[in-house]
Structure 1
Amino acid sequence: MNKENRLVKNVILYTIGNLGSKVLVMLIVPIYTHYMNPAEIGYYDLIVTLAGLICPVIMLSIHEGVYRWLLESGQKKDRIIRSGLFIWGSGVLLTALGFIVVNHYIEIQYAFLVFAIIALQSLYNLVLEITRGLKHTVFYSVSGIVYSCIFFIANIVLVCVLKKGLIGIFVSLIVALLGTIIFLYSIQRDLRINIERPNKNVIDKRMIKYSLQLMPNSISWWITSYADRFMIKMFLGMSMNGIYAIAAKFPSALSMITSIFYSAWQEQAILTYDDENRDEYYSKIFAQYYKALFCIILMAIPLTKVVINYTMTQEFHSASKYIGFLYLAGVFQAFSAFYGTGYLSTRQTRGAMTTTIVGAIMNVVINALFMPKYGLQIAGFSTFFSYVTVWGLRIFQTRKYFRIYIRWGKFSAIFMLVIAMIIASIKGDGIQNILLFVGAVFVSIIINQKTIKEMIRLIYAKKSGKSE
């Protein structure tokens, strides 16, 4: 199987486990707006966001190291997995002590549920990376369906039927995380190891160093992506954070798509890093990638406004004004992650850390300076601008690892088309946005016609049993 076929196969497997299942989660968004007020949605969003910050800290980002080490042949997988679980358990115990101390002085609403979410989310992340590292791609894909189905059903029962509100969402998340962890444990014999404290010879110091350098990187990604939630609460209030949370739910679908591709590309980039034609191959994949992503948001921007205006209550309609820059932020985050594989392939993760730290600082500074005066739109713009900065720095830094050649004229033309769509969508009404969507579909087909033809050819070859 050649490189293109292998990448397509992995993308398809990850898509099966994520795309359909995440649609179920997206269907929950309109439900929230009917059963909860913006302040409640804002608090839930803050807790989930906070979990994203704490998880890599309590785990020392060891899940990243576990995946990287398991991916290589010749490693003793039971020792690697045991080390990861030991570090997770130690981190959870320290977090529990921290919660007790903090809650004694500052009461945390639903403190036990919040702690349970953080502990299970970090274990869930670790188990998923173990599954990927063992190359159990099918299990990884199916786990996405299991998680989303449990989460969706639990929300219907607890939020819609029993009307438990915020508690219902928290419990749904806990049940989904725990259920998926049990599922992955039950179907993978590799996870059934003796849980014992590993000695100093078992824990690979290189793996720990590799992971520790990625921890600031994870924290900086979090700040760039989510710190605006806390600044919105500070400057504009919890209700506005609820509006922003709804606006961000739709671009999160784009992040789901890019994470699917990244999961497949990360493995492919590492395994093909030493190939002779690496730069040519990377350049070809990136060209197809950026055109596809720009066209996805070109179609998604007007469609999202229609969905918000026709499926949600009036108090959430203003969310449609903020989706444009959030979609663009997701695209440039994907570009940054694409280039970030250079750090992973060479295990030189310090560069990943420095670039994301710069982006995080820029995000906070822009929000602090301009959000009080210009309002909620600054939150999306600052995130977008920060990711552009990170990507620019990584283009420069990764030249010592690989060279990706970009046709900047074509890139800039498509980018300006997206900017024009953002402006037109904000000003347009329902009918106009439907027409904008139809036009975007035709333009996207024209821009991506080569990639579409190649995909059709690969699918046809697969069905015909032809080998590439």
Structure 2
Amino acid sequence: MKIDRLVENIKIYFFGTFSTKLIQFLFIPLYTKYIDSFELGYFNLILSVVWFAVPLLYQTIWEGILRFVIEKSENEERIFTSTNLYCFGLSILYGLVFLLISLLMEINYGFSIFLMALTQMGVSYWQFSARALKNSKAYSFGLVANTVITVALNFILIMIFKLGLPALFISNIAGSLAMIIVMEMKLRLFANFRISKFDISLLKQLIKYSFPLSINTISWWLINSGGSIIIVNQIGIEENGIYSISSRFGMIMTLITSVVNMAWQEESFRIHGEKGADNYFNRVFDFLVRSVFSGIAVLIPVTFIFYRWFVYGEYSTGLLLTPIIYLSTAFSTFSSHLGSGFLARKESNVIFYSTLVAGIISVGGAAVLAPILGLMGVVVSSLIGTVCMFLIRALMLKKRMVLELKYINTIGLSLFCICVMFVCSLNSVSVIYQMIILIIVVAVLFFANRDIIFVFQSRINQKLKGNR
């Protein structure tokens, strides 16, 4: 069954992604206690620039790999040979250019920044290749290797050697490199390289498909990371450090949502054009909306407790930002699901325009509100941008398929999360108070989602009986 295939992919991706996203929580006490907000703010700024530059410079060629390998498996060797050569050539060119720029401009940690960007490209390339080849185990093992190396080096270099900012660069680069090596051992993308399989015509097709998506990353960057530039310029780089810690709580939201989106993207390519595909799309989306908002409602009191126990010093001032960041992440997730409908139809240009509008709203709003509301103005602007992107994509996709979105559920659950946020903020310092709120929220959500819970329980019981 299609749903079984989707669930299986979700389970495999979850195993690997869980460890990586968990780092975002594990490092919060470490960073807030041992890393100065100025240094963390600078590192977050560099990460923002890397996330912007890498997809654009390499035209997100890995997106093309995922689509073309799934559709044209008979050309698998030609696809990988062509993209291998292309990425290798670009890396040499960019390395020489960056070396010249860093020497002329005397960029701090210039070599580390370049290595971080290069390994980030490699991670994306091998990750998407693993998904295209349906080798989910290689994907998961790579993420686990990344986690082990990153965690070990962070604790050793920060707590024992007190390296501060250099430790962040070293652990990031080493973790990504470990991931690439492990995945290459499983996938052998370069080991099976054959120059005779290079196909310039196929490469042009890949770039033609991927290039609009790389431009689209600029818009996503405006939404997710553009705020860092505004913060540094208008508020201060120390505030960017506080913002980066709050944003890490938003990243934990993607623990499940990114896994579902990755698995669903592959599924949408496979089922496009099949009978009942629209109904399947709508059922998955409804489940996603209910699950994500339920997760946010639970996470809000948990976050208040976590901040009270594990976030130190000036970083604790970012507590009230996290619920807004959760909501922004939720609507980004919903937009990504709707975006898969356009990707399945090869209409990547629609994704670009909708994301660009959202990006402009996010950054424009942040530029206006940051001097007035500080960091809260930045996160509120991002939320407004993601909601606009969701609405635009929903209206446009409705013209292309039978799209049934339960707006009442979406609005109602959004308001419920806002109410939980307000109630939690009334006594943010009391852990007992937050635990009471958590228990009430879990009880309400259990009642509201009892139909989904019973379905899962029934499926588990059936599998247990089948294994006897």
Give the TM-score, by structure 1 length.
0.95
Matched, 1:238 2:237: yes
SS at match of 2:339: helix
1:321-377 Cα offsets, whole Å, 9 max, x none, are 111110000000000000001121111211011111111111111011121112110
1:459 shift after superposition: 2.5
Q: Distance in 1 between matches of 2:149 and 2:196?
A: 33
Q: In the alignment, which residue of structure 2 is the partner of 1:217?
A: 216
Q: C-alpha distance in 2, partners of 1:195/1:425?
A: 59
CA distance in 2, matches of 1:452, 1:192: 46
Is the counterpart of residue 444 in structure 1 residue 433 in structure 2? Answer: no
| Correspondence 1:413 to 2:412 | yes
Distance 1:26 1:452 in 2: 27
Q: How does 1:128-139 map to 2 (within 5 A)?
A: 128-139=127-138
Residue 39 of structure 1 pairs with residue 38 of structure 2: yes
SS in 1 for 2:320: helix
Q: Is 1:308 aligned to residue 307 of structure 2?
A: yes
Other-structure match for 2:247: 248
Which segment drifts farther, 325-334 or 342-351?
342-351
| Contact 1:25-1:152 at 8 Å conserved across structures | no
Verify: 1:229 aligned to 2:228, yes or no: yes
One-letter code aligned to 1:297: I
CA distances 1:423-457 after superposition (whole Å, capped 9, x unpaired):
22223232322222221111222222222222222
For the aligned residues, what is the CA RMSD? 1.8
- Write out aligned runs for 1:98-109 (5 A): 98-109=97-108
Query: For structure 1, which segment, 196-205 or 256-265, has the greater mean C-alpha deviation from structure 2 after superposition?
Result: 196-205
Secondary structure of 1:404's aligned partner? coil
- Mean alpha-carbon deviation: is it higher for 409-418 or for 344-353? 409-418
Say if 2:182 is the partner of 1:183. yes
Q: Indicate if the aligned counterparts of 2:79 and 2:202 stay in contact, CA closer than 8 A.
A: yes
Partner of 1:12: 11
Aligned AA (2:114): F
Q: 1:95 to 1:35 in 2, by over 3 A?
A: same
Q: Which residue of 1 aligns with 2:403?
A: 404
**What residue number does 1:160 align with?**
159
User: Match of 2:27?
Assistant: 28
Q: What letter corresponds to residue 302 of structure 1 in structure 2?
A: P
Unpaired stretches in structure 1, ≥5 consecutive residues = none
Partner Cα distance (1:447, 1:20) in 2? 30
8 Å contact kept, 1:58–1:88: no
Overall identity of the aligned pairs, in %: 25
Alpha carbons 1:248, 1:326 under 8 Å: kept = yes
Asked if the contact 1:147–1:180 (Cα under 8 Å) also holds between the matched residues in 2, the reply is: yes
**Equivalents in 2 of 1:176, 1:321: separation in Å?**
31
How far 1:97 moved relative to its partner?
A: 3.1
Amino acid at match of 1:455: F
Question: What is the alpha-carbon distance in structure 2 between the residues aligned to residue 399 and residue 124 of structure 1?
Answer: 35
Greater mean alpha carbon deviation, residues 299-308 or residues 110-119:
299-308
Change (3 A) 1:452 1:120: same
C-alpha deviation, 1:72, in angstroms: 1.9
Instruction: Find the counterpart in structure 2 of residue 366 from structure 1.
Output: 365
Contact 1:25/1:148 (8 A) holds in 2: no
The CA deviation at 1:200 is 5.2
Residue 354 of structure 1 aligns with which residue?
353
Q: Equivalents in 2 of 1:206, 1:172: separation in Å?
A: 36
The number of residue pairs the alignment matches comes to 466
Within-5 A mapping of 1:376-387? 376-387=375-386
SS of 1:67 mapped into structure 2: helix
Q: How far apart, in 1, do the equivalents of 2:140 and 2:61 lie?
A: 22
Please state if 1:64 is matched with 2:63.
Answer: yes
SS at match of 2:107: coil
Q: Cα 1:174–1:195, aligned 2, differ >3 Å: closer, same or farther?
A: farther
Superimposed CA distance per residue, residues 177-219 of structure 1 (whole angstroms, 9 cap, x where no aligned partner): 1111111111224552226497554534222111011111112
Classify the secondary structure of the residue corresponding to 1:75: helix
Aligned-partner residue type, residue 139 of structure 2: Y
- Determine if contact 2:154/2:168 at 8 Å carries over to the other structure: yes
The corresponding residue for 1:435 is 436
SS of structure 2 residue aligned to 1:26:
helix
The residue type equivalent to 1:218 in the other structure is T
**Any stretches of 5+ residues in structure 2 without a counterpart?**
none
Q: What's the counterpart of residue 124 of structure 1?
A: 123
Contact 1:322/1:377 (8 A) holds in 2: yes
| TM-score normalised over the length of structure 2 | 0.95
Contact 1:216–1:357 (CA under 8 A) maintained in structure 2: no
Amino acid at match of 1:442: A
- In the alignment, the residues of structure 1 paired with residue 14 and residue 279 of structure 2 have an alpha-carbon distance, to the nearest angstrom, of 26
The corresponding residue for 2:266 is 267
Contact 1:339 1:395 in 2 (8 A): yes
Residue 400 of structure 1 deviates from its aligned partner by: 3.6
CA drift of 1:255 comes to: 1.8
CA distance in 1, matches of 2:209, 2:33: 45
